[in-house]
């Protein structure tokens, strides 16, 4: 666990990698409270099958989980997503502490770029923290529209202009039947 110089009400904010199932469950609880509880995101969208192949990072205030982020790994970049901070802890830069930890972990694994998808109402937050919009069209339409954004892992080594990072394949996982095959797959 890493203690930062940031504190809230005299209690230090700590950032921890989820290493045990209990840690992962705490990250999932924060996400469920923020996304399912506050934003009415359907369970099937919030927990989409990528959770057990990702790295989860949790922020604590004392023993209380205050925020979480999921970090997925691709060949040439890392993707922080599902950034969530409990309502009562917002406004204390916990989200930025989590993203900073994502960058440090990504750098230690040789990544040069972070890629994320932001909701239109959150773009200014991401831009304030050094992210830039990609030139490519926004992803999605209507209320579920998101904007692709990137940031160099090391701000002293800026990224070249890019339309999209290589190997980005963002798609909904197929629905599978009890045998594990995609629904409608040929079974012969």
**How does pLDDT run across 127-184, given as a tens digit for each residue?**
999 999 986 555 555 556 789 999 999 888 877 766 555 544 444 445 555 655 566 6
Sheet containing strand 11-17, strands side by side: 2-8, 11-17, 55-61, 64-73, 78-85, 113-118, 147-152, 132-133
With contact defined as beta carbons under 8 Å apart, do 134 and 149 qualify?
yes
> Does 116 reside within a domain?
yes
Question: Other C-beta atoms within 10 Å of 116: how many?
Answer: 23
Question: Domain range for residue 136?
Answer: 2-152
**Which of 4-8, 39-43, 66-70 shows the lowest per-residue confidence on average (mean pLDDT)?**
4-8
Q: What is the C-alpha separation between 110 and 113, in angstroms, rounded?
A: 9
Length of the chain: 188
Q: What is the C-alpha separation between 116 and 27, in angstroms, rounded?
A: 19
List pLDDT tens digits, range 106-123.
999 989 999 999 989 899
> Does 146 reside within a domain?
yes
> Does 181 reside within a domain?
no
Instruction: Please indicate whether residue 137 or residue 89 has the higher confidence score (pLDDT).
Output: 89
pLDDT at position 159 is: 77
> Does 126 reside within a domain?
yes
What is the total count of domains within the chain?
Answer: 1
> Does 118 reside within a domain?
yes
Checking if the pLDDT of 3 tops 60, the result is no
> Does 19 reside within a domain?
yes
pLDDT at position 165 is: 56
The residue to which tokens 């090391």 are assigned: 154
> Does 47 reside within a domain?
yes
- Phi and psi for 53 in degrees, rounded to 5? -105, 10
> Does 170 reside within a domain?
no
- Give me the CATH number covering residue 69: 3.40.630.30
pTM comes to 0.79
């Amino acid at each position: 666990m890493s203690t930062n110089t940031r504190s809230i009400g005299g209690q230090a904010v700590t950032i921890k990698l989820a290493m045990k199932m209990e840690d992962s469950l705490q990250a999932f609880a924060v996400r469920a409270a923020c996304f399912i509880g506050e934003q009415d995101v359907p369970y099937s969208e919030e927990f989409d099958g990528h959770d057990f192949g990702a790295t989860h990072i949790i922020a604590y205030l004392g023993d209380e989980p205050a925020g979480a982020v999921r970090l997925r790994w691709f060949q040439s970049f890392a993707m922080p997503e599902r950034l969530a901070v409990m309502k009562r802890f917002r406004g204390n830069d916990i989200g930025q502490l989590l993203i900073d930890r994502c960058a440090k972990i990504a750098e230690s694994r040789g990544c040069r770029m972070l890629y994320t998808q932001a909701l239109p109402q959150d773009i200014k937050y991401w831009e304030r923290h050094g992210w830039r919009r990609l030139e490519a069209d926004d992803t999605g339409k209507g209320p579920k529209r998101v904007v692709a954004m990137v940031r160099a892992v090391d701000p002293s080594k800026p990224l070249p202009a890019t339309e999209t990072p290589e190997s980005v394949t963002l798609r909904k996982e197929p629905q599978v039947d009890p045998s594990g095959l995609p629904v409608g797959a040929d079974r012969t």
